[in-house]
């Protein structure tokens, strides 16, 4: 393991949330499987865990658990051994973790299932082993912490000790925040009540501090993005296309900055402007214009003369002739009709935009 977690150390991924802020994209699927460059989001977390030496992973499921099991199975395809723990009722992050107390007898990794990062899990494990702490959390500094709870720390004996977990504040400014990854000792379960909803950061961790037990911070200087809202979900794609974060399963870009998937069909008269992504078995017809920052999922079809720019199209979506999709997200199996224009919108699965439609409509908008 080369300084990483000891053999058989388990990782727990909390994926029970309903993903309300990503609707309509999460209306029929858990947030943890929304695609990033055509790959289920969790696949990138699985890849990082495997590279760090983890093999045993427990998924704590809540919302639509039946959508995850068929997708990931026993984990062998990712080099992991997956277990599933399904909440009978929503229990929050702490309550979901508390149901695993009988399975977790040794120190373990716990992480949120909606964060994109390049976190060094080996370094986090090493910090925890040397800290004698009940909990070691990864934190990072952001220029605007208004959307997050803040972490207060102080230096003691050469370690960054966590002293408080502060609620979100509109005027927060720059601050340290949790990135949603924690190494924990089994003693953490002493602070998690049984059978009722409880939050790790709002309820459990402050109680650990009040008890006098030690919580240590491990600073993460790399990439971090919570994809739980539409704007950051779109930003994740831009960052991936710009090479700021690597997405498991997405191949390298060609010299023009376009990632082209397996068996994709691109007409010689189509115009592709990188950075962009054309997924497996996607079809781009003559005179179509793709990019920059266009993402075409698996089996997407873009017909003659259509344009897709700064937009994300999920698997099976079809864009009709001369249509324009710009600054938008279209869910799976969508349809945009001939000469329609959609801009700045998010459409759920199987949405149909009839030909010649304008969404949104503006009296001053000219046809493309």
| pLDDT tens-digit map of 35-60 | 999 999 999 999 999 999 999 999 99
User: What number of residues does the chain have?
Assistant: 368
At the top level of CATH, the class of 10-241 is alpha beta
State how far the alpha carbon of 298 is from the alpha carbons of 66, 264, 339, in Å.
Answer: 22, 9, 23
What share of the chain in percent tops pLDDT 70? 94
Give which of 65, 82, 64 is closest to 73, Cα–Cα: 82
Confidence of residue 142 (pLDDT cuts 50, 70, 90): confident
At the top level of CATH, the class of 258-359 is mainly beta
Beta strands in 168-230 (DSSP E): 175-184, 215-219, 224-226
* Pairing of the two strands 335-336 and 352-353: parallel
Question: What residues does 224 pair with on adjacent strands?
Answer: 117
Confidence of residue 172 (pLDDT cuts 50, 70, 90): low
Task: Look up the pTM and report it.
Answer: 0.90
* Domains of the chain, residue spans: 10-241, 258-359
């Amino acid at each position: 393991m080369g300084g990483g977690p000891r053999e058989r150390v388990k990782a727990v991924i909390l994926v029970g949330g309903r993903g309300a802020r990503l609707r309509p994209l999460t209306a029929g699927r858990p947030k943890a499987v929304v695609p990033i460059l055509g790959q289920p989001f969790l696949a990138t977390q699985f890849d990082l865990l495997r590279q760090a030496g983890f093999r045993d992973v427990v998924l704590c499921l809540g919302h639509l658990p039946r959508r995850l099991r068929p997708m990931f199975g026993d984990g062998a395809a990712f080099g992991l051994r997956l277990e599933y723990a399904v909440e009978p009722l929503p229990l929050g992050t702490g309550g979901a973790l508390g149901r695993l107390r009988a399975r977790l007898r040794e120190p373990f990794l716990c992480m949120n299932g909606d964060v994109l990062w390049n976190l060094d899990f080996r370094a986090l494990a090493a910090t925890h082993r040397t800290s004698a702490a009940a909990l070691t959390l990864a934190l990072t500094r952001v220029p605007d912490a208004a959307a997050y709870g803040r972490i207060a720390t102080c230096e003691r004996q050469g370690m960054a000790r966590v002293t408080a977990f502060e609620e979100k504040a509109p005027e927060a400014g720059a601050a340290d925040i949790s990135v949603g990854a924690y190494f924990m000792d089994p003693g953490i379960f002493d602070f998690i009540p049984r059978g009722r909803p409880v939050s790790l950061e709002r309820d459990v961790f402050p109680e650990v501090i009040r008890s006098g037990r030690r919580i240590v911070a491990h600073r993460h200087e790399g990439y971090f993005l919570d994809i739980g809202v539409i704007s950051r979900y779109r930003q994740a794609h831009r960052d991936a296309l710009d090479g700021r974060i690597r997405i498991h399963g997405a191949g390298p870009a060609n010299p023009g900055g376009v990632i082209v998937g397996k068996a994709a069909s691109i007409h010689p008269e189509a115009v592709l402007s990188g950075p962009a992504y054309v997924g497996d078995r996607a079809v781009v017809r003559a005179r179509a214009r793709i990019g920059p920052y266009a993402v075409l999922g698996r089996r997407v079809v873009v017909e003659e003369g259509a344009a897709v720019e700064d937009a994300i199209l999920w698997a099976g979506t079809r864009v009709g002739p001369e249509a324009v999709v710009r600054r938008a997200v279209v869910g799976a199996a969508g349809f945009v009709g001939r000469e329609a224009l959609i801009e700045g919108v998010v459409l759920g699965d199987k949405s149909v935009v009839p030909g010649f439609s304008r969404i949104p409509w503006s009296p001053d908008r000219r046809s493309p």
